[in-house]
Amino acid sequence: MTIANATKRLQDYLGERFSTQPAILQQHSQDESYFPVIQPDGVTFPNDTSEVAKIVAICAEEVCPIIPWGVGTSLEGHALALEGGITMNFANMKQVLGIHSDDLCVVVQPGITREELNHELRNTGLFFPIDPGANATIGGMTATSASGTTAVKYGTMRDNVKAMEIVCADGHIIRTGNRAKKSSAGYDLNALFIGSEGTLGLITEITLKLSGIPDKIAAATCCFNDIDSAVNAVISIIQLGIPIARVELLDSIMIQGLNLWDKTFDLPELPHLFLEFHGSQLHVNEQAEETKEIIAEFGGRNFKWATHVEDRNFLWRGRHNSYYAAKALRPGCKVLTTDSCVPISKLAEAINETTQEIERSPLRGPIVGHVGDGNFHATLLIDPDSTEELEIAKQISYRINELSVRLGGTITGEHGIGAGKLDYMPLEHGSAWQTMQLIKKALDPKNIFNPGKVVQIA
Amino acid sequence: MTIANATKRLQDYLGERFSTQPAILQQHSQDESYFPVIQPDGVTFPNDTSEVAKIVAICAEEVCPIIPWGVGTSLEGHALALEGGITMNFANMKQVLGIHSDDLCVVVQPGITREELNHELRNTGLFFPIDPGANATIGGMTATSASGTTAVKYGTMRDNVKAMEIVCADGHIIRTGNRAKKSSAGYDLNALFIGSEGTLGLITEITLKLSGIPDKIAAATCCFNDIDSAVNAVISIIQLGIPIARVELLDSIMIQGLNLWDKTFDLPELPHLFLEFHGSQLHVNEQAEETKEIIAEFGGRNFKWATHVEDRNFLWRGRHNSYYAAKALRPGCKVLTTDSCVPISKLAEAINETTQEIERSPLRGPIVGHVGDGNFHATLLIDPDSTEELEIAKQISYRINELSVRLGGTITGEHGIGAGKLDYMPLEHGSAWQTMQLIKKALDPKNIFNPGKVVQIA
């Protein structure tokens, strides 16, 4: 009953698909968060569900932690082996198992990335719309309930994962959900496992909802004199029910970073909205006209369309790389990113207080957000060698999280809890966190699945 | 530790808001299902959450079952005291606690019905769109994950319940969810309690998503020579992504019943679709034109618009009363209703096989369905005094359920499991049903919440 026994047995079982090579351990020792490097005791590369089940059975007997790994783009230490144990890398499980065009869904293995999936779908007229920026795996996105720029129209992983195959803590395999549009057949296990961050079971197959590629896509940018006007324009767009597909806020500091990161952007250093509309030609025009009127009402200007696919790609490449654009403002820095999501009516208040919070500190922290959802990120830029700066960033983060909950929102709209936000769980959930721990204990009594994340087991 | 102790203590605690009067017990002894009458040991009428919590604490100590009750419209025996115990009627908890128009949501107590709620919202420009036909309570609808005619556009209760207050099995109170549009903060308890049918906790407060009343609503009916053409037209409408708000199928026998139930209908006795479009004037026209073309392609005719609110209400009154219209075909009968929901591509096959199944039997069973979701009901008409007919109906139901699962769907799209579909849980869920029982045991270790429903505890 030790991790050492587990690694020995896994070596025997998997041969060279179990690795303790320094380079491999190193590769699995950090994600994109500010967490210190920490190595697992070994890395497994299962080829299929039955191997996952066998690995789990061995680890359950040996009480050895298992940490699932996609491509390591998580931001809160989700995929780090904080209590040792073995990392399970799903790189060998990235097949598309079936495309069901007539039911608008696809069945995939967890290791496929969202870009790979959309490449596979290229001849179907369908696409998988969820877009967190990073080219994460579908397994990772499901496990963290990811979303991103398109959530305002297409929802999050919670709205787009229809069914899963899951390996449970004793190695037995279950299926959650089905391919029908709705079901009232008992507890919604599918919803329970989405966003459970590998702490309740390992996802080995996922059925995703797909969307038809819209007849017409049009994107645009515009700028505002102040952030308040930009946010109030967004609130108005959402409250009027305009079914916009993307509406992203970049504050003036983030625009500065973007211009630095790629000089072809050359945008005025003012708060910007990046917008996108999907639908029929007629419907897109209608939405765009209504939106333009609202933006003008709030003093928005420099309205520039990007209808050609190359222009749109250029625009969204900028938005998607805001993490790196932010880093361009302070070469060599690390980033602590907040992830507030508040009711839309509280968005202006939340962004105002966040901005003031950052301005009162010695740090810079450009703000970017999927503001149509009420979700925004302060990307706090810190010197990697300064524990003092990390401490200041954490204090700012604490106050922003406290604010989000106070305004009726959440500490994390899309990044998840991991280990980084564990301490905030009582703040958001009160005693409902205890209910989560009861579920964890019931489904993973030995606490082998990604221990130290989401819940705290004594 | 007996039910008798519990009733005595509840009498002391609640006075006349605890009742064992025969008329009251009788009122809580049957829902709208085919189940035999069974009386609870008493009925409580709590006034607020703290009273619910106290009642639960007493019942937990005495190991006395608690069965939540809305208005008794459930169809699978959900609200029956099958193992004795006390029924909790939420009639005194029907307040609207807050309307948050700017965030498109409302906070209510569970005892309010959906029609009462929409009446309260009448001056806000907003409405609560979920419409199961019956004027059920919001608590009941949440507990069964109800949906109905509008689910094709607005989703089910799973998509429209944002947050809840819940009294747990030891009497402590938790909150699930929040008012933000999305969250990745841990296990989705909100989703777990939706559709848990009162078996995991008692819902004492619900935050619902609201929708803007569309600028334009247009409804229409049309008929087809055969049911296959009607279903294939619907499949085509859905696969083309037309955002229709309602698309209901009524087979020729159901139309016969409707004409009998209210002679003003006077529809040709052929399969019909009842349709509704919501949106801007422009967008509704666009949807309606596209839909008409598809319907014509499949031989649909007699396309009749109902744009005036009175005409629309007349039309939907007919659809909503299909339960009674079906009963009009056989006065004095009882009804066993199936609730298949299959992937849209399998809908024609599912309805065909269901029709044949009924035709092979001596029973009549008109079919009606929210076919845009792949959901349809065979309403099997049985002599209440014939155990033989009930047995035949159950056999038909078994084969329809088996078919639904085989086609990748579910045994219940919107009615829930209750006691009536308990035996089918292994068919649909396999060993995932065991996972549900682990959760039940973790959250309600004494099995006091609505025992005998959803899960089976030894």
Which among B181, B435, B440 is the nearest to A174, CB-wise? B435
- Asked if residue B144 lies in contact with residue B74, where contact means CB atoms within 8 angstroms, the answer is yes
On whether any CB of chain A is under 8 Å from the CB of B194, the answer is yes
Q: Read off φ and ψ for residue B201, nearest 5 degrees.
A: 180, 170
- pLDDT tens digits, residue range B214-269? 999 999 999 999 999 999 999 999 888 888 999 999 999 999 999 999 999 899 99
Q: What confidence score (pLDDT) does residue A293 get?
A: 95
Least confident stretch, B133-147, B234-248, B393-407:
B234-248
* Residues in B touching A408 (Cβ below 8 Å): 178-180
Q: What confidence score (pLDDT) does residue A132 get?
A: 92
Indicate which of A141, A154, A159, A182 best probes the interface with B, i.e. most B CBs within 10 Å of its own CB. A182
Query: Given CA atoms B304, B309, B311, B317 in this order, what sign does their dihedral have?
Result: positive
On whether any CB of chain A is under 8 Å from the CB of B438, the answer is yes
- A347: closest chain B residue by CA: B180
- Asked if residue B438 lies in contact with residue A442, where contact means CB atoms within 8 angstroms, the answer is yes
* Residues in A touching B191 (Cβ below 8 Å): 158, 188, 191-192
What SS3 class is residue B276?
Answer: strand
Strand partners, B126: B212
Q: What confidence score (pLDDT) does residue A101 get?
A: 92
What interface predicted TM-score (ipTM) does this complex get?
0.96
With CB atoms and an 8 Å threshold, state whether B432 touches A172: no
Minimum distance, in Å, between the CA of residue B244 and any CA atom of chain A: 14
Which among A196, A413, A454 is the nearest to B183, CB-wise? A413
Exposed (0-12), middle (13-18) or buried (19+): which is B123, by Cβ within 10 Å? exposed
Q: What confidence score (pLDDT) does residue B328 get?
A: 93
Minimum distance, in Å, between the CA of residue B374 and any CA atom of chain A: 7
More confident residue, A146 or B334: A146
On whether any CB of chain B is under 8 Å from the CB of A341, the answer is yes
Which among B155, B410, B442 is the nearest to A441, CB-wise? B442
With CB atoms and an 8 Å threshold, state whether B185 touches A412: yes
* Residues in A touching B159 (Cβ below 8 Å): 159
Q: What confidence score (pLDDT) does residue A307 get?
A: 80
On whether any CB of chain A is under 8 Å from the CB of B442, the answer is yes
On whether any CB of chain A is under 8 Å from the CB of B283, the answer is yes
d(CA A183, CA A177): 8
Q: What confidence score (pLDDT) does residue B36 get?
A: 87
Q: Read off φ and ψ for residue B429, nearest 5 degrees.
A: -110, -15
d(CA A325, CA A221): 17
The fraction of chain B above a pLDDT of 70, given in percent, is 100
Instruction: Compute the average pLDDT of residues B154-162.
Output: 97
On whether any CB of chain B is under 8 Å from the CB of A457, the answer is no
H/E run at residue B61: helix B49-62
Minimum distance, in Å, between the CA of residue B21 and any CA atom of chain A: 33
Query: Given CA atoms A74, A75, A77, A78 in this order, what sign does their dihedral have?
Result: negative
End-to-end Cα separation, chain B, in angstroms: 19
Per-run averaged pLDDT (10 residues), chain A, 458 residues: 95 98 96 88 98 98 98 94 97 98 95 98 96 95 96 96 97 96 97 98 98 93 95 90 93 95 93 94 90 96 89 89 92 93 95 96 95 95 94 96 97 96 97 98 98 93
Which residue has tokens 């503001």? A371
Q: List Cβ<8 Å contacts ≥24 apart for A324-328.
A: A324/A261, A325/A254, A325/A257, A325/A258, A325/A260, A325/A261, A325/A262, A325/A366, A326/A254, A326/A257, A326/A366, A326/A368, A326/A379, A326/A381, A327/A257, A327/A381, A328/A257, A328/A260, A328/A261
Which among A191, A412, A443 is the nearest to B191, CB-wise? A191
* Residues in B touching A403 (Cβ below 8 Å): none
* Residues in A touching B195 (Cβ below 8 Å): 184, 186-188
Indicate which of B145, B167, B170, B184 best probes the interface with A, i.e. most A CBs within 10 Å of its own CB. B184
Residue B273 pLDDT class (50, 70, 90 cuts):
very high
On whether any CB of chain B is under 8 Å from the CB of A150, the answer is no
What SS3 class is residue B280?
Answer: coil
What SS3 class is residue B257?
Answer: helix
Helix axes of B227-239 and B281-297: crossing angle, nearest 10 degrees: 140
Within the 40-79 window of chain B, which residues sit less than 8 Å (CB to CB) from chain A? Answer: none
For residue B398, pLDDT beyond 90: yes
On whether any CB of chain A is under 8 Å from the CB of B289, the answer is no
Residue type at B117 in one-letter notation:
L
d(CA B458, CA B452): 10
Of A265, A249, A267, the closest CA to residue A314 belongs to: A265
On whether any CB of chain B is under 8 Å from the CB of A140, the answer is no
Beta carbons within 8 Å of A240's beta carbon, 6+ residues apart: A290, A294
Q: Read off φ and ψ for residue A316, nearest 5 degrees.
A: -75, -25
Give the Cβ contact number of residue A356 at 10 Å: 10
On whether any CB of chain A is under 8 Å from the CB of B301, the answer is no
d(CA B96, CA A57): 50
Instruction: Compute the average pLDDT of residues B53-57.
Output: 98
Residue type at B275 in one-letter notation:
L
With CB atoms and an 8 Å threshold, state whether B103 touches A180: no
On whether any CB of chain B is under 8 Å from the CB of A344, the answer is yes
Within the 85-124 window of chain A, which residues sit less than 8 Å (CB to CB) from chain B? Answer: 100, 102-105
Q: What confidence score (pLDDT) does residue B86 get?
A: 98
Of A309, A337, A347, A312, the closest CA to residue A414 belongs to: A337
Which among A186, A409, A417 is the nearest to B178, CB-wise? A409
From residue B354, alpha-carbon distances to A39, B364, B391, B419 in Å are: 57, 12, 17, 23
- B455: closest chain A residue by CA: A186
Beta carbons within 8 Å of A12's beta carbon, 6+ residues apart: none
Minimum distance, in Å, between the CA of residue B339 and any CA atom of chain A: 10
- Asked if residue B410 lies in contact with residue B404, where contact means CB atoms within 8 angstroms, the answer is yes
Of B399, B381, B403, the closest CA to residue B390 belongs to: B381
Minimum distance, in Å, between the CA of residue A23 and any CA atom of chain B: 32
Least confident stretch, A407-421, B310-324, B393-407:
B310-324
* Residues in A touching B421 (Cβ below 8 Å): 185
With CB atoms and an 8 Å threshold, state whether B194 touches A188: yes
The two tokens of residue B130 are 């979920």
On whether any CB of chain A is under 8 Å from the CB of B138, the answer is no
H/E run at residue B8: helix B3-14
- Asked if residue A150 lies in contact with residue A123, where contact means CB atoms within 8 angstroms, the answer is no
d(CA B403, CA B164): 35
With CB atoms and an 8 Å threshold, state whether B429 touches A185: yes
**Are β-strands A86-89 and A105-108 bridged in parallel, bridged antiparallel, or unpaired?**
unpaired
Which residue has tokens 């508040």? A342
Which among B104, B195, B443 is the nearest to A438, CB-wise? B443
Which residue has tokens 């890395």? A43
Of B160, B151, B130, the closest CA to residue B369 belongs to: B151
d(CA A178, CA A155): 19
From residue B134, alpha-carbon distances to A228, B72, B149, B409 in Å are: 45, 10, 11, 24
Of A23, A55, A59, A26, the closest CA to residue A40 belongs to: A26
On whether any CB of chain B is under 8 Å from the CB of A285, the answer is no
- A165: closest chain B residue by CA: B432
Residue B330 pLDDT class (50, 70, 90 cuts):
very high
Q: Return the HEC string of B376-417.
A: EEEEEEECCCCHHHHHHHHHHHHHHHHHHHHCCCECECCCCC
- B341: closest chain A residue by CA: A180
Residue type at B2 in one-letter notation:
T
d(CA A115, CA A297): 37
Strands (E), A282-374: 301-306, 334-337, 340-341, 367-370
What SS3 class is residue A141?
Answer: helix
With CB atoms and an 8 Å threshold, state whether A341 touches B180: yes
- pLDDT tens digits, residue range B419-456? 999 999 999 999 999 999 999 999 999 999 999 999 99
On whether any CB of chain A is under 8 Å from the CB of B241, the answer is yes
